A and B are shown apart, each in its own frame.
Chain A
């Protein structure tokens, strides 16, 4: 078969660098999936508009950076809060009425994603935009087999920071305790005076905010265009589904998927890597459907 004329031969140092790149890819996948994982884990909502929230984060950064002149580092929290606010509105307007109908949420959020894409296209046009990378990130690490650009390193660090922050909020604050209580048993939590609706709103807004922050970084890494979000949404779902509910699961699954992607890309090409990866995930779900069987044991 002549599909892959260049089957890259194994060579140790570049292969090791491929593993490093895998970490970089994994951090991107993790950042893209984190918000989704929180929303799905807490509320059981499959948010098809997640990619578009990332896109909104990127455009927010673009607006603040290029049109207002805010430095990149400040744009990150701005993107977080702006998209979190949008997420809050979405939760109030659409998601709230659909908690008992998870499939319908999936479809409604898909409709929402169309609206978001088209609105952005109407406002900013279809031309690609870009977010400038601050000059202090214009460096490269070049040490024996390690080659990593400053921006990639920054994203890896941000992934660690965001996960830590999320972990802290979930496990070390009263809000986190409430969120986890609602996660485990909504009725029970309600009987302790926890307002589940409020918790849901905040969780959705927080998850959306994480997507916004992700968008800010992806904007710097890649090109902005209105349907850029669709590139992330399938991957983000896979991270969440493979990881199962919980922060640690997402970290592990994104690490696994990122490395696999990098290694497959090293030996073959990116398109084929995606094919192999998606198929593996489907097969994996077949054999490890933990947390995937919808009919819970305790229902009856």
Chain B
């Protein structure tokens, strides 16, 4: 197994507050890793650091052996890292179809794209994606009119459209109904194996559905790592995390 992502001693400090402190993480090919931790544990910040949204104070991030520590967001994205945000981010005034089209990023430069007419290339690809996330009957609807769950799927679909080798999902089921969550876990299980994923999630039942290995963060550092049962039986985790918020 080759490591897709490797974080070494990643630290992010704001003046006197250290959000992420010497965090190490290694994710292997085809793995679905869940990132757990109480609020303020540094999960989202870690994703920010991986994707270049925030700059590291110290430490390094490697993607398939390449150092991406100092790259900009778009460079990292072009290295094959896709990210879904905690608050779903889609292009609200564009139709669902156009959202997928924008996410289909074969050409990224403005001038190259001036020669590309819409829907010329992405067609086949989004048929595949629609198979996975659904929304096939909502293609012409402006994304701003979608329900919350649909917006989440759209964003997941967009990230897939981008065809990344590593997907980062920040709370993909936040605000979803039970049925929607069930559909989402189906989507994730379908992706598992063919894609490498890191999922930040609070919903333990969802985590149980999908996770291979779980990494627990606390106070910006690694607390524990292991399979679902190992984590559930880890006394330290129980103490800081399960005790405080409770895993349902």
Contacts and interface: CB of A to CB of B under 8 A. Distances in A.
A299 to B, nearest CB: 7
B93 to A, nearest CB: 14
Contacts of B54: 297
Interface stretch (B82-90, B96-104, B218-226): B82-90
Contacts of A300: 44, 85-87, 89, 170
Interface in B29-77: 44, 53-54
Interface in A280-297: 297
Interface in A243-300: 297, 299-300
Contacts of A299: 87
A2 B89 CA distance: 56
| Interface SS of A by simple majority | helix
A299 B89 CA distance: 11
A297 B54 CA distance: 9
B144 to A, nearest CB: 14
A62 B53 CA distance: 55
A12 B149 CA distance: 71
B45 to A, nearest CB: 10
B178 to A, nearest CB: 25
A299 B87 CA distance: 8
B75 to A, nearest CB: 18
Nearest to A298: B44
A226 B59 CA distance: 61
Contacts of B170: 300
B173 to A, nearest CB: 16
Contacts of B86: 300
A300 B85 CA distance: 6
Nearest to A297: B54
Interface string B222-235: 00000000000000
Nearest to B170: A300
A295 to B, nearest CB: 10
Interface in B169-216: 170
A300 B86 CA distance: 6
Nearest to A299: B87
Contacts of B87: 299-300
B40 to A, nearest CB: 12
A276 B89 CA distance: 41
Nearest to A295: B53
Nearest to B88: A300
A300 B44 CA distance: 9
Interface string A211-226: 0000000000000000
A141 to B, nearest CB: 45
Interface string A39-74: 000000000000000000000000000000000000
B170 to A, nearest CB: 8
B158 to A, nearest CB: 15
A289 to B, nearest CB: 15
Contacts of B53: 297
Nearest to B87: A300
B147 to A, nearest CB: 19
A264 B81 CA distance: 51
Interface string B12-32: 000000000000000000000
Contacts of A297: 53-54
A297 B86 CA distance: 13
A300 B54 CA distance: 12
Contacts of B44: 300
Interface in B136-181: 170
Nearest to B47: A300
A300 B90 CA distance: 13
A171 B85 CA distance: 37
A300 B87 CA distance: 5
A297 B48 CA distance: 10
A300 B170 CA distance: 9
A7 B208 CA distance: 78
A300 B174 CA distance: 13
A299 B86 CA distance: 9
Interface string A138-165: 0000000000000000000000000000
A212 to B, nearest CB: 40
A201 B231 CA distance: 53
Q: Ordered nearest first, which 9 A-B pairs have the shortest CB separation?
A: A300-B85, A300-B87, A300-B86, A300-B89, A299-B87, A297-B54, A300-B170, A300-B44, A297-B53
9 contacts: A297-B53, A297-B54, A299-B87, A300-B44, A300-B85, A300-B86, A300-B87, A300-B89, A300-B170
Interface of B: 44, 53-54, 85-87, 89, 170
Given A300-B86, A300-B87, A300-B89, 4 more contacts: A297-B53, A297-B54, A300-B44, A300-B170
